[in-house]
Each structure stands twice: as C-alpha cells, then as structure tokens.
C-alpha cells in the first residue's frame, strides 16, 4: 500500500532546544491509517498535524480500546537522524493489540509510515545533549455505538514531539537520582489483566498513586505485585533494575509487567559489557535490608533514571550512595553511545532517516 503525502501549508516556528520541554509542542505532520472489518488497513497518509474529529459515541471514549507506543529518534554529532528499535516497538504494538480485541498492525506499513514521517519532519529532531524526537504511535476505536463489544473501526495515528530529558539532570543527561515511594496498597496491573500491553487503561490506573506520591515529594511510585505486595514490578511507567551483590537484576516478564524495549536493550548491553545479569523476582524485604547498591528505572521516555532512595512503609531506604552508580552510568553511557552514533550498532537497532 502506498502512503499519500499532504504537506502542511503552514509550517510552525521551531523553539530553541533549550525551550522544548517534554510533550508540549508537536511537529508539522502526522501519519494515519484506518481499519475496518470490511477493508482491513487502508487510507494510509501523512498530513498536517491537526485535531481528529470523532463521534461522541466512539468506542475509544466508552470502552477503553486505546493503546500506544513510544519511540525515539536521535540526531548524531554529524547531523544524521536515527530511529532507535523501531521494528521492536511496532512489533510489540502488533502483538499487544489482540489482547484488547483490536486489529494487529500491518507491521511493514506502520513502520514505513513512521520512517517517512520522521524523514519529512527531520528538521524537528533537536541536537542538544539529552534531547530527542519522541514519537507516539496510537491505536483507538472509532466506531460510533453504545454496547459492550469490540469496535469494528479503528484509527492508527502517529504524532511527534521534540523533547528534553524526562527527568532532567543538572548536566542535561537525565541522570538525576529520584526519590520513589514503594506502593503497597494500590495496584497498576494484576495477573490475567492487560499490564503487559501499552493500553491507556494501565496509565489511568497508575495516576492516583503517582499523584499522591508527588504531593509528598516523590518522583514516582514503585509498583509491587497485586497479590501480596511483597515483590517489585515496575517504577511508574518504567521497568526496574537493581544491582544486588554485584549482579544486575530485573523482575521477569509477566502479564502484569510490560516487556520494555529499553529493558531488552539493557540486558543485551549488559551481556556485551560483561555485566552479570539475571531476570528474577526482587522482594521488598531485600531492599529493606539494604542489599541493593544501585537501582534505576528505564523506558523510552526516561531512558535510564537512577533511584537514589525508596520510601517503604513510611521509612526511607538509601540506595547505595544515593547517586547514579557505576553500573547504571556504564549502561547509560553505552546505550546513549549507540543511539547517538558514537559506538557501533552491533545489533542493528538503528534505522537511518
């Protein structure tokens, strides 16, 4: 299927890299395509970034059939623009959609649409250290009806925003140690649920605990398992890693933990760097006893966010020195070097735009 391209007649004025913030300004264009039971995927096009018109009875509003992805593009020192792990992100979205009774993406067409969109708006990719172009593919139900059943019409669209580090550090590297509350009452996702998909409902479920934590001075919450609240799962919207007795550990994937692409890349980088790593259950008790010497969350938006301290049942537990540890920095530097083109892309993670 070909992609129709309709360039905007009114290009926007770009802000300096120092003023872009995160998720507040958007590029000139967007990609979209539609799906119906009769036609499958069709009407693929790039057009001006603009509001979407939906009937008030659209299924996305009433029955939560919405999901999204997060991808980043980076500008190298020589001006090249690279997408990071675009194939893995699109494939994850295609795998996750059927859990919400949504159509799996046409992976090749979705990938092509994202690449062509980045090429068209490549001047929006910032170049200052720590900045990037954040890309948000989204899938929503658009059929107008009231009645609990899956929609028969869907819209897939991609919008883009230039961004600074999600958790800004003093040197623009994002490695600002965070204070995190371990959540022992509320639950983000449960076994048998939709926690392993990037469904909008998962993020709605996370907001109350996060807002309560922020009111008390914490950056986010560290979710525990829904059944016992004794084992660690995710940090806010990020996967979590800890260094315990010299080993890099992260909880094993389950239907309540999202299989993060950054998590996947970090495990591969750890292997490349000779860092001993494993996927195993991490208990709250281990952390309470001070066994963790480093900890960080990771995800597309934040990349790697060090955890300096945790609040557990009202008591604060300092993690190591309270700053980004040696292994955390090593992994952050290695990941940034690949994505920025300063180190060889041995695993084929980058797509030039």
Contacts of 19 (CB under 8 A, 6+ apart): none
Residue 270 has pLDDT above 90, yes or no: yes
Find which of 92-106, 169-183, 330-344 is predicted with most confidence, using mean pLDDT: 92-106
Burial 161-197 (b: 16+ CB within 10 A, else e): bbbbbbbeeeeebbbbbbbbbbbeebbbbeeebbbbb
Q: Rounded to the nearest 10 degrees, what angle do helices 86-96 and 261-273 cross at? A: 130
Share of the chain above pLDDT 90, in %: 92
Tokens (6 digits) for 146: 């009231």
Tokens (6 digits) for 290: 């001070």
Confidence of residue 167 (pLDDT cuts 50, 70, 90): confident
pLDDT in tens, 132-146: 999 999 999 999 999
Q: Are 220 and 240 in contact (CB under 8 A)?
A: no
C-alpha torsion angle, residues 99, 103, 108, 109 (rounded to 10): -140
Q: Lowest mean pLDDT: which of 172-181, 261-270, 296-305?
A: 172-181
Confidence of residue 170 (pLDDT cuts 50, 70, 90): very low
- Quick one: average pLDDT of 87-93? 98
Task: Find, among 231, 229, 182, 241, the residue nearest to 209 by Cα.
Answer: 182
Confidence of residue 341 (pLDDT cuts 50, 70, 90): confident
**Beta-carbon neighbour count of residue 262 at 10 Å?**
22
Distance separating alpha carbons of residues 4 and 154, to the nearest angstrom: 19
- Quick one: average pLDDT of 256-282? 97
Contacts of 21 (CB under 8 A, 6+ apart): 163, 164
Residue 174 has pLDDT above 70, yes or no: no
pLDDT in tens, 210-254: 999 999 999 999 999 999 999 999 999 899 999 999 999 999 999
3 state SS of 130 = coil
Q: Lowest mean pLDDT: which of 52-66, 133-147, 291-305?
A: 291-305
Contacts of 277 (CB under 8 A, 6+ apart): 247, 248, 249, 250, 267, 270, 271
Report how far apart the first and last C-alpha atoms of the chain are (Å, whole number).
20
Task: Find, among 271, 298, 302, 36, the residue nearest to 168 by Cα.
Answer: 302
Residue 89 has pLDDT above 50, yes or no: yes
Q: Which domains does the chain have, with CATH numbers?
A: 4-164 (3.30.470.10), 178-339 (3.20.10.10)
* Whole-number average pLDDT of the chain: 95
Confidence of residue 344 (pLDDT cuts 50, 70, 90): very high
What was the pLDDT predicted at 169?
A: 53
Tell me the CA distances in angstroms from 84 to 70, 332, 338, one per residue in order: 11, 15, 9
pLDDT in tens, 99-136: 999 999 999 999 999 999 999 999 999 999 889 999 99
Helix (H) or strand (E) holding 201: helix 200-215
Confidence of residue 171 (pLDDT cuts 50, 70, 90): very low
Tokens (6 digits) for 160: 């883009």
| Total length of the chain | 353
């Amino acid at each position: 299927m070909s992609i129709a391209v309709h360039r905007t007649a009114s290009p926007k004025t770009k802000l300096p890299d120092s003023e872009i913030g995160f998720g507040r300004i958007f590029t000139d264009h967007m990609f979209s395509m539609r799906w119906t039971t009769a036609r499958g995927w069709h009407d693929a096009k790039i057009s001006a970034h603009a509001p979407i018109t939906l009937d008030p009875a659209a299924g996305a509003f009433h029955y939560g059939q919405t999901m999204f992805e997060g991808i980043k593009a980076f500008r190298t020192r020589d001006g090249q623009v690279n997408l990071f792990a675009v194939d893995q992100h699109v494939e994850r979205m295609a795998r996750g959609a059927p859990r919400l009774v949504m159509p799996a993406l046409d992976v090749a067409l979705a990938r092509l649409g994202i690449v062509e969109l980045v090429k068209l708006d490549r001047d929006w990719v910032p170049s200052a250290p720590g900045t990037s172009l954040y890309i948000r593919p989204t899938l929503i139900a658009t059929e107008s009806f009231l009645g609990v059943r899956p929609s028969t019409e869907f819209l897939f669209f991609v919008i883009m925003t230039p961004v600074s580090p999600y958790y800004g550090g003093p040197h623009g590297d994002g490695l600002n140690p965070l204070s995190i509350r371990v959540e022992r009452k509320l639950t983000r996702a449960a076994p048998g649920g939709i926690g392993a998909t990037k469904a909008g409902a998962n993020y709605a479920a996370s907001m109350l605990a996060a807002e309560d934590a922020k009111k008390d001075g914490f950056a986010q919450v560290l979710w525990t398992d829904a059944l016992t609240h004794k084992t660690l799962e995710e940090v806010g919207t990020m996967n979590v890693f800890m260094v315990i007795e010299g080993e890099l550990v992260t909880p094993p994937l389950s239907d309540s933990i999202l299989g993060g692409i950054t998590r996947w890349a970090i495990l591969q980088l750890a292997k490349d760097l000779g860092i001993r790593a494993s996927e195993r259950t991490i208990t709250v008790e281990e952390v309470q006893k001070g066994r963790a010497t480093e900890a960080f969350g990771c995800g597309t938006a934040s990349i790697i966010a060090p955890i300096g301290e945790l609040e557990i049942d009202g008591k604060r537990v300092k993690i190591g020195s309270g700053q980004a540890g040696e292994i955390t920095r090593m992994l952050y530097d290695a990941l940034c070097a690949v994505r920025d083109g300063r180190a060889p892309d041995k695993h084929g993670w980058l797509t030039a735009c």
